[in-house]
Amino acid sequence: MKYPNHMTASEAQELVYDVVSDDLKIHLTRVLRGAIKACDVDIQMINQNNVINRSRTIAGETIYVLEADGDGNFYPQEYAWHNGEMELVFRRLSTPTFADFIAELAQDGFLDECKVNELLEKEGASFRLKRKTRFAVDTTVSVEVFSLEALDKSERDADTHPNIRVLVRRMDTALNAGDFAGVLHASASIFETLAKIVVAQPTLENKTLKSFFDRYRKD
């Protein structure tokens, strides 16, 4: 991500190896759907078009120009397309672009950054949203990216998966030290963590990848 708006380019690069689960993205999609809901279905679709085009722009995709027919009405296909695209506004994004986008939505009042931060903490993500104030007035929302040192020192809850940024750093450290057993161990932990995110079953938290590999391969 070359030009993020709510963090520095170097901070965005730090999040490349962080992983946000589809469960969180789906949950935030549902919250966002409620935030842009309107009594008038046309106004609601206009709101959807706004959010969808923001997401598509951040993801590097083309925007969709919403146009009415000669009578000022929209075709049924437009409603179907926008409803479908709404489900992708977060899921199409990488972690750096996701973080930047939710900060933008929080700044514009579509998301509550305090509630989002609670979810990010539960997720074990290595970033949070931070609202800056000036002269007692709320101004901008930024992305606060935790350092690897801080993540290494912090205690993880038993039900939170290890942070992949930390595991990648441990793998690099082991490689530089010639500790190839350590490299394999950290690498295996990364794959196991990713697999648990993909399968998304709480009962697997303390299981090894081998014990649910068939399910992982299927999913």
Tokens of 204: 């697997």
The CA-based diameter of the chain, rounded to the nearest angstrom, is 71
Strand, helix or coil at 65?
Answer: coil
Strand, helix or coil at 211?
Answer: helix
**Listed residue (48, 47, 60) closest to 2, CA to CA:** 60
Q: Check residue 85 and give its pLDDT.
A: 96
Gap between the Cα atoms of 100 and 14, Å rounded: 13
On whether the pTM is more than 0.85, the answer is no
pLDDT tens, the chain, 219 aa long? 788 999 999 999 999 988 888 889 999 999 999 999 999 999 999 999 999 999 999 999 999 999 888 787 888 999 999 999 999 999 999 999 999 999 999 999 999 999 999 999 888 888 999 998 766 556 789 999 998 777 766 544 444 556 788 888 888 888 888 888 888 988 888 888 888 878 877 777 778 888 888 888 888
Handedness of CA 187, 191, 192, 193 (dihedral sign): positive
Q: Check residue 155 and give its pLDDT.
A: 45
Do residues 121 and 127 lie in contact, with contact meaning Cβ atoms separated by under 8 Å? Answer: no
Q: Check residue 118 and give its pLDDT.
A: 95
Taking 3-state DSSP, the helix, strand and coil percentages for the chain, each rounded to the nearest 5, stand at 60, 10, 35
